Amino acid sequence: MNLCARPLLLLAFLPALAFTQDSTVSGEAVYAQYCASCHEQTETRIVTREALELMSPERILRTLDFGAMMTIAYPMRRDERLAVASYLGKGEDESQLPPSAYCPAETEMFADSAAGSWRGWSPSAANTRYQDPQRAGMTAADLDRLELRWAFGFPGDVIAFAASTLVDGTLFVGSAGGIVFALDAASGCVHWQYDARGPVRAAPVIAEDGDTRTLLFSDQNGGVHAIDAQTGAQRWRVRVEEHEATRLTGSFALADGVVFVPAASWEETRSINAEYECCTFRGSITALRVTDGSRLWKTYLIDEPVRTGATSVGTATYGPSGAGVWSTPTVDAGRGLLYVTTGDNYSHPATASSDAIVALDLDDGHIVWSQQTTPNDVYNSSCGTQGPNCPEDRGPDYDFGAAALVVPIGDGRDVLVAGQKSGVVYGLDPDDAGRMLWQTRVGEGGVNGGVQWGMASDGAYVYASVSDVVRPRGLMARPGAVGNAPLDPELGGGLTALSPADGSRVWHSPGHACTPPKPGCSPAQPGALTAIEGAVFSGSLDGHLRAFAADDGRLLWDFDTARAYSTVNGVSGSGGSLDGAGPVIAGGMVFVNSGYPRFGGMPGNVLLAFGLAAP
């Protein structure tokens, strides 16, 4: 199978990536360990060593990060990826956006307050992902007028996973290639772009101080960036974790001039390498001042790891580890709390703060209370290949990947709602140390099952979709698993509405079978939901973006994004599976990314913009 054939391009006029690595890391040795057995062959379907040397280091690095070689690169450290890219890449990228991709001089930024805003992961700090009619510019009654306005192509990418932020007619979105774009929401033209030097998945947040707007976001290599939202010029950049495997996927929460940065990790996949000493990463939340990036406080969610023994092949083991925070923290200013949901442990000993909802004090970060839902969930990716780093008595890998929601239930009371990969949604009492009020199963759950990236609530109901994707056993252990895998075309997915007061099921809409079946297509609905008045939007691995009636779950609107597009920026564009970031809705427009091959779905590289046709 040709794992390297898809050409990945980087804009030539961007600043070159900084290929700075530990001088002791040999790119030649990394190539011999991970790459040579494939690329030294003369098989016509395999990219040869000579062909790789004609590529640029940037292009090779992109392929390793989130391109066709991402599964090969899972066990590789960042410095190893940089070393092999520098060792192999001798060429220069020559592609660039055409002049027509850029906005005319008269197209001003932030000039259309009527276009509405969607700032960060959710329009509100409660993370309910609900947009009211005035800000949405539409309700369920308008969906029959929704039509595609424009498509923007992410150059050289095979995945479109970044969440967008919209402010007064200007859209900010990152990319797997590490470029953050400022786009005109109405036309898709480019105001400016910024090279983050690492994949950007999280939605940026905007901090405003008078006329000064600061755009803040993270890259998946651990960098936190603050740039001038008007010009794209960098104001500051810091790292919140020194661990090599730091991975920042969650958007920041923002309150009173402070951003709260969640930290997760690549270390779970590093464990595939039998020589990797697993594991030492600790999930954390760091509070940074917007003005200069200085640290206000930092809280680790587990204790510092210590040596615990050795694997069956003699590699040292460490623990505790894990409890990463994949999602956006939830600010509860009235109670002075910050809620975070945590992932599993990677190695023993298990901790009480993994697979948990944790409340931190907003002012100093100390843990006020913690409510665990799945004890003893110790798991890492080596378990998929029965590797020596797989823990004994391994857990089910039931991370929380979705943010907690604060939902009012009347009489001044709220319920804190969290959905888990187990397929269970929980309701907690934020006024009683997170006491469990109810729990409701909405899916089968699994390693890539259950609630994945985000629920929504309009106050009347809580909406939860599930992945529950069904794939051949051992799919992720095979290098060819990136994109267009033979996923089950009928099993998976589903959307459920729950009463926030008691968790009772109001209605359920099953997943939609792939018609016709095709590689990479599944009914799974892992992506984050978005709600407006009368409707809930949900994407699927089958490439469809659908809107369902909020009162009974009937289908209101359906658009198949998995096709080729003529893009406004002149980049070859195609859609694919929908996963990760959900739609952003404001000012009568809907924005959604299409393309997600990481777990076997269909690749793609487009951001799509929909608007309302005239009545």
d(CA 234, CA 213): 12
Predicted pLDDT of residue 497: 98
Predicted pLDDT of residue 46: 67
Q: Which two tokens stand for residue 531?
A: 């709600």
d(CA 5, CA 10): 16
Q: Above 50 in pLDDT, residue 272?
A: yes
Edge to edge, what strands does the sheet with 456-457 contain?
456-457, 462-465, 495-498, 505-509
Q: Which two tokens stand for residue 58?
A: 């940037």
Q: Could you report the per-residue pLDDT of 568-604, keeping only the tens digit for each?
A: 999 999 999 999 999 999 999 999 999 999 888 999 9
Contact 284, 360 (CB under 8 A): no
| Closest by CA position to 173, among listed 208, 153, 207, 201 | 201
Which SS3 state, helix, strand or coil, does residue 445 take? coil
For the chain, what percent of residues have pLDDT higher than 90? 76
Q: Which two tokens stand for residue 99?
A: 């002049």
For the chain, what percent of residues have pLDDT higher than 70? 93
Query: What mean pLDDT do residues 273-291 have?
Result: 97
- Token pair 């001088």 is found at 23
Question: Residue 545: which residues within 8 A CB-CB, separation 6 or more?
Answer: 537, 538, 539, 558, 559, 561, 578, 583, 590, 592
Q: Could you report the per-residue pLDDT of 27-54, keeping only the tens digit for each?
A: 888 888 888 778 877 665 667 777 777 7
- Token pair 């009527």 is found at 114
Domain boundaries, the chain: 1-96, 99-612
CA distances from 332 to 76, 255, 590 (A): 38, 10, 28
Query: What mean pLDDT do residues 421-425 have?
Result: 98
Q: Could you report the per-residue pLDDT of 232-257, keeping only the tens digit for each?
A: 999 999 999 999 999 999 999 999 99
Which SS3 state, helix, strand or coil, does residue 271 take? coil
Rg (CA), the chain: 23
Assign 10 a pLDDT band (cuts: 50, 70, 90).
very low
Residue 189, phi then psi, degrees to nearest 5: -70, 155
Q: Which of 86-90, 121-125, 144-148, 211-215 has the lowest mean pLDDT?
A: 86-90
Predicted pLDDT of residue 49: 79
Assign 57 a pLDDT band (cuts: 50, 70, 90).
confident
In CATH, the number for domain 99-612 is: 2.140.10.10
d(CA 117, CA 138): 13
Residues in a beta bridge with 546: 538, 558
The enclosing H or E element of 299 equals strand 295-300
Q: Above 70 in pLDDT, residue 95?
A: no
d(CA 122, CA 113): 18
Predicted pLDDT of residue 226: 98
Helices (H), 145-303: 267-270
d(CA 452, CA 201): 15
Predicted pLDDT of residue 473: 65
Query: Does residue 19 or residue 6 have the better pLDDT?
Result: 19
Assign 60 a pLDDT band (cuts: 50, 70, 90).
confident
| Closest by CA position to 323, among listed 294, 296, 303 | 303
Which SS3 state, helix, strand or coil, does residue 259 take? strand
Predicted pLDDT of residue 43: 61
Which SS3 state, helix, strand or coil, does residue 143 take? helix
Residue 269, phi then psi, degrees to nearest 5: -85, -25
| Closest by CA position to 378, among listed 249, 247, 279, 274 | 279
Q: Could you report the per-residue pLDDT of 385-418, keeping only the tens digit for each?
A: 889 999 999 999 999 999 999 999 999 999 999 9
| Closest by CA position to 529, among listed 612, 470, 442, 597 | 442
| Closest by CA position to 65, among listed 174, 156, 198 | 198
Mean pLDDT of the chain: 90
Residues in a beta bridge with 549: 535
Eight-class DSSP state of 72: H
Q: Above 60 in pLDDT, residue 13?
A: no
Residues in a beta bridge with 356: 372
Query: Does residue 63 or residue 567 have the better pLDDT?
Result: 567
Predicted pLDDT of residue 395: 95
Q: Does 7 sit behind a cis peptide bond, omega within 30 degrees of 0 on the bond before it?
A: no
| Closest by CA position to 112, among listed 183, 170, 164, 165 | 170
Whole-model pTM: value is 0.91
CA distances from 157 to 13, 180, 561, 580 (A): 17, 13, 16, 16
Q: Residue 417: CA atoms inside 13 Å, Cβ hemisphere, count?
A: 32
Assign 19 a pLDDT band (cuts: 50, 70, 90).
very low
CA distances from 415 to 304, 533, 574 (A): 32, 21, 41
Assign 479 a pLDDT band (cuts: 50, 70, 90).
very low
Q: Which two tokens stand for residue 607?
A: 């951001």
